[in-house]
Amino acid sequence: MSTATEQQTTQSRPLWEGKIFNGSWTQGENGTIDVTAPATGQVIATVGAASPADLDASVATAQAAQRAWAKLPYDQRAQVFRKAAALLEADPDRILRWLIPESGSAAGKAGFEIGGLVVGELHEAAALTSEPYGELLQSSKPRLSLVRRLPLGVVGVISPFNFPAILAMRSVAPALALGNAVILKPDPRTPIGGGLALAELLAEAGLPEGLLHVLPGGADVGLALVAHPDVPCISFTGSTPAGRTIGAAAAPLLKKVHLELGGNNALLVLPDADLDAAASAGAWGSFLHQGQICMTTGRHLVHSSVAEEYVAKLAAKADAIPVGDPTDPHNALGPIIDEGQRDKIHDIVTRSVEQGAVLAAGGTYDGLFYRPTVLAGVPHHAAAFTEEIFGPVAPVTTYETVEEAIDIINSSPYGLSVSLLTQDVYGALELAERIESGAVHINDQTVDDEAVAPFGGAKTSGTGGRFGGKANLDTFSEVQWVTAQGEIQRYPF
């Protein structure tokens, strides 16, 4: 017989402890995964580990549940997302208390991710359910001709570790809103804030059983999801090399694949820019969440006439940023996600200095805590200029003419986000037309996203549909052309 203390401990345990979510909380066939806080190295939770066999069972369950969900009136689907948003607004700590240690997110970053971005996605998903799902077309024949959007069926979502909650929810919520079921495989380093806590939230909000499945696991589960014949759509957010692998695996199956990939994003400081404001924007763009963002400012292009002053201001900001355990709200930056990523960052910094860059700030680390780093005079061939760093590093290089700067920006194989800082806003609007990028922000830094805006990259930063607003209609539904006429059409034979 259990004691009162044991009963209280059991009741206080999260529903997902040691579990996967396949419509209900169950054991995974691959045992369990320990979730480790990168700041301390301590195990903060244990979740279930899924196998390809778990995936097969989830797809079958999802297919059955999706048919009934798609037939519901739109307002019944919308109600789930409104309720989820209200629950999260009332108690953001239900996810924050896991997200902060699990992903190494500073309190400010994590609070915005949940209270701003995830809540925004839920509200936008509710609105998406009532969007017109078709249109009438002109026809040369005496008939009704229309196009309508139908659910795809089961959507597979593979999400990363850096902004785990929003980068999962921005696919999960709109896919569900449009009548699909979803199989989510979060990064195994962030399975709680990136999946299981989201499933718990949506289940409490009334999402019918079987529509959302969260399967933490390794690459075998991800590849099985991509290859599954009954999952017609894959939404992947992650690195460009991983995206290439997924695209190659899905191509023979002719699946609908959406790849949101890496970036080496440029911030262009024109000579008339306010340098105090520019340095603030540049620091935020390069250092937010330790630079572990696909939209991070990876190249600071500064006119030679103001470069020395800009570097001094940027370096001063870097030196003043407190770095440490993110559970301490005084720390603005937390740890790099793991040793492998930290060593990659430091290797790029070291090689760049050897290739001619000047270390103006940072360049050191303590455990997984990497100091915000500023590199000045970075040559175009240096590693910090050509490679995606995914760390808190601000490489600065100079240019002489705007034409040269545009050529430098477009020389990158990536095309995700670009920032233009200037007093000449209309001139910047003209420049934006010449920039090969999915997003251009004038007088702001490169890291930005809104639930109502179409987000996605060009070139090797992504392919497929966009996320956000009405763009989700194209991404998470299928188009069907329908015609109807009063009598059977007669033909010559």
Which tens digits make up the pLDDT trace of 160-188?
999 999 999 999 999 999 999 999 999 99
Query: Does 433 have pLDDT greater than 60?
Result: yes
Does residue 423 carry a pLDDT above 90? Answer: yes
Q: Give pLDDT, residue 10.
A: 36
Residues 6+ apart with CB under 8 A from 81: 122, 123, 125, 126, 129, 173, 176, 177, 205
233 is catalytic: no
Per DSSP, the three-state class of 333 is strand
Mean pLDDT of 244-270: 96
Convert the pLDDT of each residue in 88-100 to its tens digit. 999 999 999 999 9
> Taking the model in full, what pTM does it have?
0.95
Q: What is the mean pLDDT of residues 228-245?
A: 96
**Of the listed 113, 200, 233, 294, which one is catalytic?**
294
Tokens at residue 94, please?
């239900």
Which stretches does DSSP call E strand in 392-476? 393-399, 414-415, 417-421, 439-442, 458-459, 462-463
- pLDDT: is 308 or 11 the higher one? 308
**The CATH number fitting domain 11-261+461-480, selected from 3.40.50.300, 1.10.3080.10, 3.40.605.10, 3.30.450.20:** 3.40.605.10
The per-residue pLDDT for 23 is: 86
CB-facing half-sphere around the CA of 160: CA atoms within 13 A: 19
> Does residue 6 have a pLDDT over 60?
no
Domain 11-261+461-480 and domain 265-442, same fold? Reply is no
Domain residue spans of the chain: 11-261+461-480, 265-442
Residues counted in the chain: 493
pLDDT digits (tens, 9 = 90+) for 367-377: 999 999 999 99
pLDDT at 357 over 80: yes
What pLDDT shows up at residue 7? Answer: 30
The predicted-structure confidence for 373-404, as pLDDT tens digits, reads as follows: 999 999 999 999 999 999 999 999 999 999 99
Catalytic residue among 260, 339, 403, 436: 260
Task: Please state the rounded mean pLDDT for residues 38-62.
Answer: 97
Average pLDDT over the chain, rounded to an integer:
95
- Closest C-alpha to 238, from 281, 200, 192, 189: 189
The region, left, alpha or beta by phi > 0 then psi within -120 to 50, assigned to residue 118 is: alpha
Write out pLDDT tens, residues 321-342: 999 999 999 999 999 999 999 9
Is 294 an annotated catalytic residue?
yes
For 265-442, give the CATH class.
Answer: alpha beta
Q: What does the pLDDT look like over 121-159, one tens digit per residue?
A: 999 999 999 999 999 999 999 999 999 999 999 999 999
DSSP state of 255: -
Phi/psi region, residue 31 (left: phi>0; alpha: psi -120 to 50; beta: rest), is: left
Q: Is the pLDDT of residue 61 over 80?
A: yes
